[in-house]
Structure 1
Amino acid sequence: MIVWVIAGLLGLATGLRIGWALVNKQSLVSAAMILALGSLGLVAALNWEPLTLLIDTLVRWPNVSTVLSQVALISCAAGSCVMITSAASERAPAVIRRIAVVQYGIAALIAALTLVAFFTSPQQPEMAPQEYLRRNLGSGAMTVSWLLPLLYVMLALTLVAWAGMRHSNRTRRGRALFVFTVGVALMVLASAFFLLRAVGTTEFIGVGAAATLLGCAMLVVASGSLLPSVEDWFGARHELRVIQPLLDELSRRHPNVGIGVRPRGPLLFRVAEQMSMISDALYLEATRALGDHTVGEDFDDDAGTPDVEPEEQARRIAEWIDNGRQRPGDDADATFPGPHWLRQPPSYSDREWILAIADQYRTLENRVSVSSS
C-alpha cells in the first residue's frame, strides 16, 4: 500500500509536469524533470511484489524487475542531473543541450553495462526484490551490475543535492527545490548504504533499513515536486478572492473589457487574465478622469512614482475607485490623484501591484459594509 502511495504521488507529479509542458513551450528542464519523476515512480512500482512477479513471468527471466529498477534509478539520476545543471547554467542553449546529451549518453552506457552484466550472470530462483538484494549485495557477489550503477547514482545525485542547496531560497519555487533536494540527499544516503553493503561492509545498516530510507526519500522527492502546484493552487484561490471585489466594480463600469475572455482553463491563467482586465479598466478610468488629457502622455513624463510608501499609494488608488462607487461622476473624478500614482513602485511587479490595490479596495469595501450594517 505504501509503495503505491509513493508511486501514485510520483505519477501525479509526473502528470502535472507533462501537462505543464504541453500547455507551455517544451524545454530541456521540463523533459529532464519528467524523466526523473517518471523513473522514480517506476522504481517504486517495480518494488510491489505482485507486479515484480508479473514482469518476471512475462519476460521469462527471474528477478528481471530488479535490474529494471536499477535502470530506472539510473534514469532518475540522469534526469535530475540534467534538470539541475540546465536550470542553473548560464551558458548558451546550444552548449547546455550538448552537455545534456553527454550526461544522457553516460547514463545510457552505464544502464547498458548493467543490463549486460545481469543477463550474462547465471539465473537465480525467483524471489522478492528485498530478498534478492540481501542475497546479492555482498563481498561474494560484487559485480559491475551493482558497483557501477550505485557509484553513478550516488555521484550524480550528490551533484544534484549540492546544486539544489545552492539555489534554494525563500521563494515559492525555491522552497520546493529545497524539499526536492532533501529527498535527493536521502537518496544519496540510501545509495551509500547500498554501496557499503555491496563492498561487504554489512555492519552499518541492513538492506531493509536502506530500502525504507529510499522509500522515504522518494516520498520527500514527490512532495517537493508537488509543492509548487499545491502552493500555486492555494495562492491562486487566495488571489482570486482578493481581486474579485475590484474586478466586479470595474467590470460594472467597463463591461466591454471582459469581451472575448475565456474564464475556463488553468487557475493561474485565469488569475493573470483577470488582473489584465483590472489593469485595462484602471487605464480607462484614468482616461475618463483626465478628460481631454491622455494617460499615455502623462505616463511618459519624468514625475516618477509618488514619494510615499507603496501601501499608501495603493490605498489612494483604492479610495479613488471607492469614491467612484459611492459618488459616481465629476466628484469622483476630482479625487483622482494623478496618472503617476497608478505606476507600480520599483519593488513591485505588475502582478503584485494589482494585488496591492485590490487588497486595499477589499479592505475599504469590508469597512463600509461593516459600518452600514
Structure 2
Amino acid sequence: MTLWLAALLVWVAAGARVGRVLVKPATTARVAIVVAVASVALGVTVAVPEIALAIDNLLPHGVHPGLLSDGIGTAAWLLFATATSVVAAAAWPVVSRRNLRQIAALIYGGGLVAVAITLAWSYTFGWLSTVFGCLFIVVTGLRNLDWTTLGRGVAIYTTGTALVAGMSALQIRRAMIDAPRSAPGQPEWGWPAWEVAALLIAFGAIWIVVELWLRARVLLHRIRLLHRVMVGRFPEVVAHDQPGTSTQLRASDQVAQIMDALYLQSGGGVELRTAGQPPASIAQRADRVARWAGNPLGEIVIDARWIAPPEGISPRGWVQAIARAFETTDGAHAEKSASR
C-alpha cells in the first residue's frame, strides 16, 4: 500500500511541475525538472509489485523473471539523473543561458545512449551511470545551499539524490555478488529507501510552491482582522472587478490594500508636525500605527512617514508587524465583539 501511495504522491508532484511550466515560460531547467520528477514517478510505479508483475508478464514465458520491469526501473532512475544533471549544470557560473541548451542537448544525448546501453547490455552500467550523475548533482547542490526558499528546496532535493546514489551503488554491489532478486509479486530489495528518496525528490521539486502557499496562508490569517477594519473604512482600495486569484496573489493584494487604506487615513501624504519623526524601533513604530489604526480619532497622530515601511523591512513584513500589534488594541477587541 505504501508503494502505491508513494507513486501517487510523486505523480502529483510531477503534475504540479507540469502546471508550473504551463503558467510560466518553459525554460530548459523547468522542463528538465519535469522530466526528472516524472522519471522518479515511473521508477517508483514500476517498483510496485503488482505493476512489475504485469509488465514482466508481457514477455514470453521462460524469460528471466523481472527482466523488463528491472530494465524500465533502471532506465527511469538513469533518466532522472540525466535530467537533473541539466538543472545542476545551469547552476554553474561557467554555464550561461546562451549555451545551456547546447549543454543540455549533450547531457540528454549521453543519457539516452546510456539508457540504450543499459537495456541492451548491462543494468549494472545503468546503475553506475546513475551514481556518477547523482554525485555531480549532490556536489552542485551542496555548492548552492543557503537559508532561502530555494535553498531549502535544493537541500531536500539533494538529500533525496544522495540517497539514490547510495542505493544505486548498493545495486552495483548486489549485481557483483549475484544477490538473488525478490520473488515475483513481492517488493524489491531496499524499497523503503527508494520510497524515501523518491518522496524527498518530489517534495524538493515542489518545495517553493508549497512554502510560498503556506506563507501566504499564514499572512492572510495574521492580517485578516486589520484588513477587514481598514477595507471597511476605505472600500475604494479594493478593485471589485478582480478575477479569482491564487493564494499568493490574494495575500499580496490584501497587503497593498491595507497600505493604501492606512495612507488614505493618514491624509494622503500630508506631513503633520505633531506626528513627529518615526522611531528607529520597528516594534514601537508598529505599535503606534496599530493603536492609531484602531482609534483614528484618538490622541495619536500619524502621517505618511509613519505608514511607509521602515528601512530594511518589506511591505509584507511591515504589515504583519502592524497586524500583530493591532490584535491588542481596543479597536481590535471591539471589532471582534461586533463580529460575534
SS of 2:327's partner is helix
Per mean C-alpha deviation after superposition, the further-off stretch among 30-39 and 308-317 is 308-317
1:157-306 to structure 2, matched below 5 A, reads: 157-200=134-177, 209-260=189-240, 262=242, 264-288=244-268, 290=270, 306=278
Aligned letter for 1:195? Answer: I
Aligned letter for 1:270? Answer: R
- Alignment partner, residue 70 of structure 1: 74
Q: Structure 1 residues 84, 348: closer, same or farther in 2, change over 3 A? A: farther
Q: Structure 1 residues 97, 278: closer, same or farther in 2, change over 3 A? A: farther
Percent of counterpart pairs with the same letter?
27
Aligned letter for 2:28? Answer: L
Superposition deviation, residue 211 in structure 1: 4.2
Q: Distance in 2 between matches of 1:257 and 1:87?
A: 42
Aligned letter for 1:352? Answer: G
Superposition deviation, residue 289 in structure 1: 6.6
SS of 2:157's partner is helix
Bigger RCO (CA 8 Å, 6+ sep)? 2
Q: Name stretches of at least 5 consecutive residues in structure 2 with no aligned partner.
A: 181-186
Give yes or no for contact 1:193–1:210 (8 Å, CA) kept in 2. Answer: no
Q: Structure 1 residues 368, 215: closer, same or farther in 2, change over 3 A? A: closer
Superposition deviation, residue 13 in structure 1: 1.1
Q: Distance in 2 between matches of 1:42 and 1:237?
A: 32
Give yes or no for contact 1:167–1:174 (8 Å, CA) kept in 2. Answer: yes
Give yes or no for contact 1:6–1:222 (8 Å, CA) kept in 2. Answer: no
SS of 2:295's partner is helix
Aligned letter for 1:84? Answer: A
- Alignment partner, residue 318 of structure 2: 353
1:126-141 to structure 2, matched below 5 A, reads: none
Q: Distance in 2 between matches of 1:260 and 1:5?
A: 42
Q: Name stretches of at least 5 consecutive residues in structure 1 with no aligned partner.
A: 118-143, 293-304
What's the TM-score once normalised by structure 1's chain length? 0.76
What RMSD, in angstroms, separates the aligned Cα atoms of the two structures? Answer: 3.3
What's the TM-score once normalised by structure 2's chain length? 0.82
Superposition deviation, residue 187 in structure 1: 0.8
Give yes or no for contact 1:263–1:270 (8 Å, CA) kept in 2. Answer: no
Superposition deviation, residue 148 in structure 1: 2.5
- Alignment partner, residue 289 of structure 2: 317
Q: Structure 1 residues 291, 162: closer, same or farther in 2, change over 3 A? A: closer
> Which residue among 307, 310, 319 is the counterpart of 1:342?
307
Superposition deviation, residue 29 in structure 1: 2.5
Per mean C-alpha deviation after superposition, the further-off stretch among 362-371 and 172-181 is 362-371
Aligned pair count reads 326
Q: Distance in 2 between matches of 1:253 and 1:187?
A: 57
Q: Distance in 1 between matches of 2:132 and 2:331?
A: 57
Q: Distance in 2 between matches of 1:371 and 1:15?
A: 41
Superposition deviation, residue 348 in structure 1: 1.6
Superposition deviation, residue 238 in structure 1: 1.6
> Which residue among 81, 87, 105 is the counterpart of 1:83?
87
